[in-house]
Structure 1
Amino acid sequence: MADSTLRTIEAPFVAPGPSGVAIRTSIKGMSRRDREVLPLVGAHLGSLACADLKARCRAGTDHDSDQWAERKRALTEESSSRWAGSITKATHDQWGLSRRAQLAHIHSLEAGVRTIAHRLSQPVGEKGTKRAPGGYRTKQEWFRKTRRLHVLDDRLGRERSDREAGVVHVVRGGKRLARGRHNLEAAQLTEYEWRQRWDAERWFLRADGESGKRLGNETIRVSSDGEVSIKLPAPLAHLANAPRGRYVLDGRIDFRHRGEEWADRVSANRAVAYRIHLDVDRGRWYLTASWTIPPVQTVSLAVARANGLIGVDTNADHFAAWRLDEHGNPMGEPRRFLYDLDGPATHRDAQVRHALTRLLHWTRREGVSIAIEDLDFGAEKTREKHGRRKRFRKLISGMPVARLRARLVSMAAELGIAIVVVDPAYTSRWGAEHWQKPLSSKNRKTTRHDAAGVAIGRRALGHRVRRRTAPPPHDQSDRVGHRTAQAGHGTRGREETHPASRTTDTIRAAGRGANAGDQRIHNRSGYASRPGLGPRLTPAH
């Protein structure tokens, strides 16, 4: 009988392709004047963006289109209509993002309060189960958690009040960097270095694309030969070195990645958005170009399953992958693609990108699709749920599952590889239970992660994790065909062996002694269970 406590497993689906493109390159050959003008423009527009964000946060949920237009008119006087449009749009996006983050924080606090309240209601030392935590270990821990429950209740009340009032808390430049100012020694920064980073993060040098306008953008214009020009705000018009209040940089850009695609859009005057920013650590200025692309028509799930696929299990230090045919049978040897998530963000990003590249190249050679889990550790990282398991909390917190999936989908779309997303429920548990031991041998050590890859692939193919149906109806030979059919959802006993008879009688042949054994262990159509009763037929499976 099925376990009624198991949660419902969602159906697999083909992940849609990316909806936009962003490419970045450094601005090379910049003059001293360029390095003076860009900070002035960025600081002026950044101050306007700060004031606009403050006005938007003050309006809260009562904000309407009339207030938006009023804010834009006020910004136009200090910059230009196009700069004002970019600033107000960025402010609107930032406010919306803060509201979504606020709601996620409320859900996290609610989960923490529920968990602590449940554990406090259990006797001290009560052991938990797989589905519900037990009580706290000691009276001291129980007392500390009662205090933490009051703290979380207070935070939850404040967050709910802020959400009802439409209040959000936003720091332009980042809260982490702002807090670093109060402890420069821990941040390993001097006051001057911190100020440089703070100013650079608060500058505003971004412009939305405009379809039909020259080169796709009237505010920050980049020609096909790499010339960059900026429309100066009204108070800084005296810095112009080109007609119509524009400043042309001496530096040039060259997009090595997807440069031809960008050049085609620019030549056709299609919208391209730009952002200019300074990397303080390297002392380099960068330009990022981005544009939307029409949604790519993804293949159907049946087409993605046609030739089988590769099941991929995501782990803290590697991808465990196994090729499966269309019937869900593992083929060949498992593959592991290692990466290291320690160190700075640039190192982690390069490690993940290299592992994904090797995985995709192997997939393209096999001519199949990829199956991955729809992982989301958002509600799994709290210490209220995992308690003292700090190492485990650190492990799942360090896995960039959302970013990893987005990058995989984007890279796979370039190679024409379909990505099938499946529900992650019980894949590791059932994979280890049904596939780890059968796939192990003297020459191959199958890990739990390899078995999980098989379970993920079978779920993507629409099969149960258990594979085999009942044996053939007539006998144990292949008279009616080999057992290649998959077990149906309602098939009982599809994986189990034939149950032994309840009788303990055995028949021993003369002269063979103990080697004759129990005749029931031989896979025969029938045997004499007791003298005089005749043959007993094996029940059909």
Structure 2
Amino acid sequence: MAPYTAAAPAGVAIRDRLKGLSDQDEAVLRLVGAHLSSLASKDLAVRCQDGLSHGADRWAARKRELTAQSSARWAGAISKASHDQWALARRGQLAHLQALGAGIATITYRLSLPVGQKGTKNAPGGYRSRQEWFAKSRRLRVLTDRLAAVRADWQAGRVRIVRGGKRLARNRHNLQAAQLDEAGWRERWEAARAFLQADGESGKRYGNETIRVSPDGEVSIRLPAPLARLANAPHGGYVLSACIRFAHRRGEWADRVHAARAVAYRIHLDAERGRWYLTASWQRPPAPAIPLQAAIAHGVVGVDTNADHLAA
């Protein structure tokens, strides 16, 4: 492959543990996560049903329905997350189509060659035996049928998404192989589906008005309307007893918070360890592309990636 210049990172994400949460804090986080998870599941189902016919008017209607059960900002975060999940599933579906097409083309080509014919540097040869040729001909039929089904879904705008993950959902039907009991699986399932994330907002205090982290590490959450009774701060807010201390990129994060630039936050539970974490993320302005010749004009450092060390 010809050398090229890689683009700079488009975003940053840092994570730290929420230590010292009280029992009340954990109860509130679980209630908020479960309530918003229910709304997110329903909204994602509606988005998937709309398929390719979804438009701005439909998006606005979804947000209005969510606002009555949460808040305007929570509704915006949930509807955007549903849209992003649908778009990601579409990109994965397209990649699957391309992979199936490439596999079918390769098998078809090798089946057309005499058995035992050797390949070249740029093209594979025929299959080694009649048994392998027969097995691959059956495989070709399976891939062709699968391609037809995936193409039909693609043309209809139909995607299949499992909130919480398909692998974890399948583990429910074979708990022994997953080395889980029903209670342990349920804990992981609810933690994976909980919705406790908010998009950043430029110009807002501390970069966000839904999940907010002050410069000294105080974490506060704007509660959804049905859970406003749990508030321990003005305007339906809840302040956690734990403070956050970002060790990585703390200076860059603090600069954004002081300047009221957008910072997105996500609170999530590692059910296996029983630990709560908070992830902060933000976007970086796109950097201008530098031609390869300009990048190496004054010399470069070559790095050899070994199993246990890097050699420059």
Using structure 1 for the length normalisation, give the TM-score: 0.56
Task: Give the corresponding residue for 1:338.
Answer: 307
Percent identical pairs in the alignment equals 64
Q: CA deviation at 1:37?
A: 0.7
> Are 1:207 and 2:202 an aligned pair?
no
Task: Give the corresponding residue for 2:40.
Answer: 49
> Are 1:276 and 2:267 an aligned pair?
yes
- Letter of the 1:162 counterpart: D
Task: Give the corresponding residue for 2:22.
Answer: 31
Secondary structure of the residue aligned to 1:70 is helix
> Are 1:246 and 2:215 an aligned pair?
no
Gaps of 5+ in 2: none
* CA separation of 1:311 and 1:266: change in aligned 2, threshold 3 A: closer
Deviation readout 1:220-242 (Å, 9 max, x if unpaired): 01111111110111111111111
Q: CA deviation at 1:154?
A: 0.6
* CA separation of 1:156 and 1:29: change in aligned 2, threshold 3 A: same
**Pairing partner for 1:69 from 60, 68, 73:** 60
CA distance in 2: counterparts of 1:134 and 1:127, whole angstroms: 5
Secondary structure of the residue aligned to 2:176 is helix
> Are 1:108 and 2:99 an aligned pair?
yes
* CA separation of 1:112 and 1:300: change in aligned 2, threshold 3 A: closer
Gaps of 5+ in 1: 1-8, 314-318, 320-336, 340-354, 363-541
Q: CA deviation at 1:142?
A: 1.8
- Letter of the 2:141 counterpart: H
> Are 1:149 and 2:118 an aligned pair?
no
Task: Give the corresponding residue for 1:163.
Answer: 154
- Letter of the 1:338 counterpart: A
Q: CA deviation at 1:297?
A: 4.2
Task: Give the corresponding residue for 2:83.
Answer: 92
- Letter of the 2:307 counterpart: L
| Larger RCO (CA within 8 A; separation ≥ 6) | 2
Q: CA deviation at 1:312?
A: 4.5
Task: Give the corresponding residue for 1:195.
Answer: 186
CA distance in 1: counterparts of 2:138 and 2:4, whole angstroms: 45
Deviation readout 1:361-409 (Å, 9 max, x if unpaired): x5xxxxxxxxxxxxxxxxxxxxxxxxxxxxxxxxxxxxxxxxxxxxxxx
Secondary structure of the residue aligned to 1:104 is helix
Using structure 2 for the length normalisation, give the TM-score: 0.95
CA distance in 2: counterparts of 1:260 and 1:272, whole angstroms: 14
Secondary structure of the residue aligned to 1:278 is strand
| Moved segments of 4+, more than 4 Å | 297-300
For the pair shown, the structure with the greater C-alpha radius of gyration is 1
> Are 1:263 and 2:232 an aligned pair?
no
Deviation readout 1:449-508 (Å, 9 max, x if unpaired): xxxxxxxxxxxxxxxxxxxxxxxxxxxxxxxxxxxxxxxxxxxxxxxxxxxxxxxxxxxx
Secondary structure of the residue aligned to 1:195 is helix
Higher fraction of helix:
2
**Pairing partner for 2:211 from 211, 217, 220:** 220
Q: CA deviation at 1:298?
A: 5.4
Q: CA deviation at 1:300?
A: 4.6
Q: CA deviation at 1:268?
A: 1.7
Q: CA deviation at 1:178?
A: 1.1
- Letter of the 1:193 counterpart: G
CA distance in 2: counterparts of 1:211 and 1:100, whole angstroms: 29
Task: Give the corresponding residue for 2:10.
Answer: 19
Q: CA deviation at 1:133?
A: 2.0
- Letter of the 1:83 counterpart: W
Secondary structure of the residue aligned to 1:46 is helix
Deviation readout 1:195-252 (Å, 9 max, x if unpaired): 1111101000000111111111100011111111101111111111111111111111
User: How many residues are paired up?
Assistant: 312
> Are 1:186 and 2:189 an aligned pair?
no
Q: CA deviation at 1:192?
A: 1.6
For the aligned residue pairs, the C-alpha RMSD in angstroms reads 1.6
> Are 1:290 and 2:259 an aligned pair?
no
